[in-house]
A and B are shown apart, each in its own frame.
Chain A
Amino acid sequence: MYTGKIRQILLITDGCSNQGDDPIAMAALAREQGITVNVIGVMEHDVIDEKGMTEIDGIAMSGGGVSQIVYAQQLSQTVQMVTRKAMNQTIQGVVNRELQQILGRSQTMEDLPPEKRGEVMEVVDELGETVELEVLILVDTSASMKHKLETVKEALLDLSLSLNARTGENQFSVYVFPGKKNDVEKLLDWTPKLQSLTSIFSQLSTGGITPTGPAIRTALSAFSQKRSLRSLLARDDESFFEESM
């Protein structure tokens, strides 16, 4: 019934960007293209400074996503919760727009009496289970992240375990910034399983700069490349979700 898919960028970082484009503007750009940006700030013993916090919240807000600051130990649970929460938000947004078309005015799910809400929720749940999901993971590998990378890897494997329990299809891709040669480097091309990360993640070199903005820009082009490739193979109509964003 729904042919759409949900597209997300998941940014995992521990602080402020210091090079290139404004990441908040890049997140807004993503949102314009129907891509949600979620941010997870990873703390260890240290705390993320005020400036970093503001940026993390700002990126998620303008990217239409969810942000969460956590200690490294809680990363696994947080990554999957944030992804799910953002996915549900997107679905709810779509369902609400549908409702508005049917009921007119500014009716949303919350304006329905509780009895009716339950039925709509069943649709939302069903979609959450079956919808196709594309998550591009952007990992900050600047020097301060170095000893947190093992935890990040664990969390990503855990994420793929959670999402692959759904009936719907998943596609993951992993980019790191800064890369060896460029600001951003592709680590893993679109794949339904993140298991292949195990071998690659240890090869990560860490640099000093944090080009968050350019990283998001590259991520966006990774989505559009995927789409153009796909349109070559089959004439995929503009999906339901993209349309309604």
Chain B
Amino acid sequence: MHVMMNHSLKSQCKVSPGTVISGKWHGNKYSIIKELGFGANGVVYLAKYNDTQVALKMSDNGMSITSEVNVLKSFAKVQGPSSLGPSLLDVDDWQTNRGRISFYVMEYIHGPDFLSFLQQKGKSWTTVLFLQLLNDLDNLHENGWVFGDLKPENLIVTGPPPKIRCIDVGGTTIQGRAIKEFTEFYDRGYWGLGGRKAERSYDLFSVAMIMINTAYPKRFTKTTGGIAQLREAIRQKSELIPFEKVMLNALQGHYTSAKQMRTDLLSLLNDHPSSIPKQSPPKAYSTVQAKPSQGSPPISRRHYRKKKKKSSWIEFFVIAAVLAVLYSGYIFLKLL
């Protein structure tokens, strides 16, 4: 979306560290620390407000600011931990001698982006993060939204403990409308695998493309397009093969909810514990696969299962005993 980065917008919203942004309506003052990034609709800065760090997004396009604020406000109404997006702190205008600039202030979500995190911490985190992401998406979908512009750059891993968070709600669209903003590689329309209506399956397609992206950090462009090219891309990477079934389902729009995809991803891990990519280098990985004997992670997992089985038996007897007592009590009362 960087093509739309208007030159005038960029220069007008360029402010240097130390600049104090004061709101026209609410009178709050924010001191700019540094630029965090810029996108199609404006520039995001790290700023200080009363000794707390906040993120401040400004744009000379007041429409997009208002639109994003609307999304964040509706997220705030959702119950539970605010994992959907950053929480909104303030909305205001900044009057400069060059004109008026709209801005909003949100919680500063700190951490590496999705791909950098995986690069630092290793592949064993991949599945954990995807399970978290699908959980958050399910929550978002249940509330009538579709994220739209889902891509690694819009996902930050905070922590510890590591937790995935979505930033940049510029593409977030009410279900049933046309997707507001997207990025080609993660867009099913680009690959010829569906339309651009905001549906749950639109986001799930993007999730599968992010999975592909973990194995192809530089991404790739469309040649033949369609499911054939993407299937081939999956099959060429050993770390993706275990997830092929789930990914193909998502790419072809077979999942109707994020929960469904999450369940499938989980059951994949439980059915084939050895297929979880390990942190060890690829060479070691293949030897483990060749000799599926004494690897410690699979053993501990089996152990866990046995324990679980035992505890479920105990559970059964306890329930049976309670029922028996209750029933005999009932009979006893009836007889009296």
User: Chain A: residues with CB nearer than 8 A to chain B?
Assistant: 68, 70, 74, 76-78, 81, 85, 88, 92, 109-110, 113-115, 117-118, 120-122, 124-125, 129, 158, 161-167
Contacts and interface: CB of A to CB of B under 8 A. Distances in A.
Interface string B63-77: 100110110010000
B2 to A, nearest CB: 9
Contacts of B178: 129, 162-163, 165-166
A195 B66 CA distance: 35
A117 B189 contact: no
B3 A77 contact: yes
Given A76-B184, A114-B93, A165 B179 contact: yes
B309 interface: no
B4 A68 contact: yes
Contact of A166 (B62, B70, B177): B177
10 contacts: A78-B4, A113-B25, A117-B66, A121-B66, A121-B70, A161-B195, A162-B179, A165-B177, A165-B197, A167-B176
Interface in B160-189: 176-179, 184, 189
A65 B179 CA distance: 22
A158 B63 contact: no
B105 to A, nearest CB: 11
B93 A125 contact: no
Main secondary structure of the interface of B (DSSP, over half): mixed
A121 B63 contact: yes
A162 B196 contact: yes
A85 B5 CA distance: 13
Nearest to B194: A161
A70 B3 contact: yes
B92 interface: yes
B61 to A, nearest CB: 9
Given A76-B184, A117-B62, 10 more contacts: A68-B3, A76-B190, A78-B4, A114-B91, A117-B66, A121-B63, A125-B177, A129-B178, A165-B179, A166-B178
A187 B282 CA distance: 55
Given A81-B4, A163-B178, A165-B195, A88 B66 contact: no
B1 interface: yes
B29 interface: no
B197 A114 contact: no
Contacts of A165: 177-179, 195-198
A77 B1 contact: yes
Interface in B88-139: 91-93, 100, 102
A158 B189 contact: yes
Contacts of A124: 63
Given A121-B63, A121-B67, A161-B195, A129 B177 contact: yes
Contacts of B196: 161-162, 165
Interface of B: 1, 3-4, 25, 40, 62-63, 66-67, 69-70, 73, 91-93, 100, 102, 176-179, 184, 189-190, 195-198
Most chain B CB neighbours (cut-off 10 Å) among A120, A121, A158, A165: A165
A165 B62 CA distance: 25
A158 B190 contact: yes
A88 B69 CA distance: 17
Nearest to B69: A118
B66 A78 contact: no
A76 B195 CA distance: 15
Contacts of A122: 70
A121 B25 CA distance: 18
Nearest to A69: B3
Contacts of A81: 1, 3-4, 40
Contacts of B25: 113-114
Given A77-B3, A110-B100, A113-B25, A118 B66 contact: yes
B62 A77 contact: no
Contact of B189 (A74, A88, A109, A161): A161
Nearest to A110: B62
Nearest to B188: A161
A88 to B, nearest CB: 6
Contacts of B92: 114
B104 to A, nearest CB: 8
B60 to A, nearest CB: 10
Contacts of B102: 110, 114
Contacts of B3: 68, 70, 74, 77-78, 81
Contacts of A114: 25, 66, 69, 91-93, 102
A66 B196 CA distance: 23
A117 B92 CA distance: 11
Contacts of B4: 68, 78, 81, 85
Nearest to B62: A110
Given A158-B189, A161-B189, A161-B196, A125 B1 contact: no
Contacts of A129: 177-178
A10 to B, nearest CB: 16
Contacts of B195: 161, 164-165
B184 A88 contact: no
A162 B181 CA distance: 10
Contacts of A164: 195
A197 to B, nearest CB: 15
